[in-house]
Amino acid sequence: MIKRIVITITVVTIIILILIPLTYELAYAEKIYPGVKIGQIDVGNKTPQTAKELFQTLINQNNQTLKIIHPISKQIWEIKPQEIDLTFNLENSMQSAYLVGRQGTLTKRLTDKKRAWEEKINILPTYSFNQEKLNGQIAIIAAAVSIPTVSPKISLENGQIIIDPGQPGQELDQRRLQILITNHIALFDQQIISLPIKTINPPPETKDIERIKNQANSLIGKSIQFKDGQNEIAVLKDKNLINLLRFSPVDFEEEIKKQIVDLAAKQDRESKDALFEFKNNRVVVFQQAQSGKKLNQEKTRLLLQEAIEELITEEGKTIEIILPLDIQSPRISTEEVNNLGIKELIGKGISYFRGSATTRLHNIQLASSRLNGLLIKPEEIFSFNQALGEISTITGYQKAYIIKEGRTILGDGGGVCQVSTTFFRAALNAGLPIIERTAHAYRVYYYEQESAAGIDATVFTPSPDLKIKNDTAAHILIQSKFLPQEYKLIFELYGTSDGRKTITANNRLWDIIPPPEPLYIDDPALPKDQTKQIDWAAWGGKAAFDWKVTRGNEILQERTFYSIYQPWQAVYLRGTKE
């Protein structure tokens, strides 16, 4: 009897244990398990579709506009979803919620259901936004709340030390704000975000003010002299020294560095190579070589810093600093004139520039003169851009038309490409390896005056560049001739001939394309019925020529130079001003 009762109880228990989970599964067969949340919103006991509709309603009602408040001024900024392209993928979010307790091993599924029942599962919604636009919104807020620091100042006035403690600044902790924003988005949090503001450079403490004041008092009546050998270069008097003092060691070091940079600007001198010309069948010097000098700024910084610290702690009145100057020898010395191996003309390039404006002529003359007399060492790769240096009004160039970013515009140094094109032709004629060369974007009529199309080279700092290699055994001397009366530029290359011969042949031009119709742009600043041309038409096409360099039976160079020229549209400004 007892045995029968035990069996009955056991069977009933088993049935109950089977029925409870079965009933639970049947009850939530199409629903998200109870306790599951998406961004703090309870979606348990709902079908994915019902949960999706709930979220869509919440999004529509709340508009998901982020509100951000300044903790002190209480100013409020709003970031609307459309301003950062914020979108939610509700389909993926609901699917993730529905799969809780339904994927993985049996143990994992049971564990997830239990955790959901205990309301411990919170799924982040699937969303996306434009990071660049959010950064832009944050940058706007950052600019509005930024308060620049007023640095402390130490000065000597009428024999008294004056210390201005300055003012602390404030700035937005942009990284922290971004984290707060993304958390609010993920949790559907509608609370206002408090701006995370950081105080920067708080004012110095009383003990630090006293310390600096004592240091400043120790410098009254003292000085530091900078010397180049026996010559005095500069003097820092007590007022100058006191102005260098700072509360922070890092700031003190920065002030020292600024002082050294100013000193270096007055002391540094670039070395100058000797410049030569080929005259009466011999090489002569027309510019003597000059050594350069460069201030070792790190050594000087340490010397100055040590000297100031010594004046603060010692009784001495003046300290002398012998400036550590590094002597820079010229690359080419005057004495090398007889050892260069320059004996004869090895290459020549010619171009014409009829029709050039006065400013363009100026730039051609200036650029070609700066290459005149330079030497290219054996095995050296010569960079046109590097040799020419900076091209700007600061270095003497004038504005003339250049090709830049697909347009013909006025720019510093217009006409320099006439120089690079002529130099390219001289290098071709000399049979020197062309390492880098770029054709112009469109056909420039200057470079087709008494020349076939395609024998040009454009340059622009830092690129494109024109580079050639001196693969001869001797130095190569560059000599330029600017002949304005003939509208002619010549580059001559002098060196030692090794018997190489050059052949340029099979110049060709094909796939010629006419320029597009002119473009007219309304200009309210130009009187009505007037037009002004700002770009010029040019026919497009493809050009090529073959180039071969031989020495006896040996072929040194053999290649074809290709150029692709775009058809160029004339552009006019059309006046609309009444």
Can you give the residue ranges of every domain in the chain?
1-26, 31-202, 207-334, 340-577
**Over pLDDT 70: what percentage of the chain?**
88
List of residues 6+ apart from 359 with CB closer than 8 A: 398, 399, 400, 414, 415
Nearest CA to 403 out of 481, 456, 468 is that of: 456
The predicted pLDDT at position 428 comes to 96
Contact 364, 480 (CB under 8 A): no
Q: What is the pLDDT of residue 562?
A: 95
The residue-averaged pLDDT of 405-428 equals 82
Q: What is the mean pLDDT of residues 182-188?
A: 78
pLDDT band for position 270 (50/70/90)? confident
Q: CA 135: distance to chain centroid?
A: 19
Is 137 exposed, middle or buried, given 0-12, 13-18 or 19+ CB atoms closer than 10 A? buried
Assigned token pair, 81? 């979803």
The predicted pLDDT at position 87 comes to: 82
Residue 409 pLDDT more than 70?
no
Query: Tokens 């020294």, residue?
Result: 241
Q: Work out the widest C-alpha separation in the chain, in whole angstroms.
A: 138
pLDDT of the residue at 421: 97
pLDDT at res. 577: 81
Looking at residue 287, what is its pLDDT? 66
Neighbours of 55 (CB within 10 A): 20
Sequence-ordered strand ranges (E) for 257-358 = 275-279, 282-287, 292-295, 318-322, 325-328, 344-352
Query: What are 504-559's pLDDT values in tens digits?
Result: 999 999 999 999 898 887 878 788 888 887 677 889 999 999 999 999 999 999 99
DSSP state letters, 279-300:
ETTEEEEEE--B-EEEE-HHHH
Burial per residue of 369-408, b for 16 or more beta-carbon CB atoms within 10 angstroms, e otherwise? ebbbbbbbebeeebbbbeebeebeeeeebbbbbbbeeeeb
- Residue 61, token pair as written in the block: 């009602």
Q: State what percent of residues in the chain have pLDDT above 90.
A: 25
1 pLDDT exceeds 80?
no
Residues 20/12, Cβ–Cβ less than 8 Å: no
pLDDT of 570 reads 82
Between CA 97 and CA 114 the distance in angstroms is 15
Q: Specify the CATH architecture of the domain 207-334.
A: Roll (3.10)
State how far the Cα of 343 lies from the Cα of 217, in Å rounded to an integer. Answer: 69
pLDDT tops 80 at residue 3: no
State the pLDDT at residue 406.
56
**Token pair of 146, please?**
């930024």
Mean pLDDT score of the chain: 84
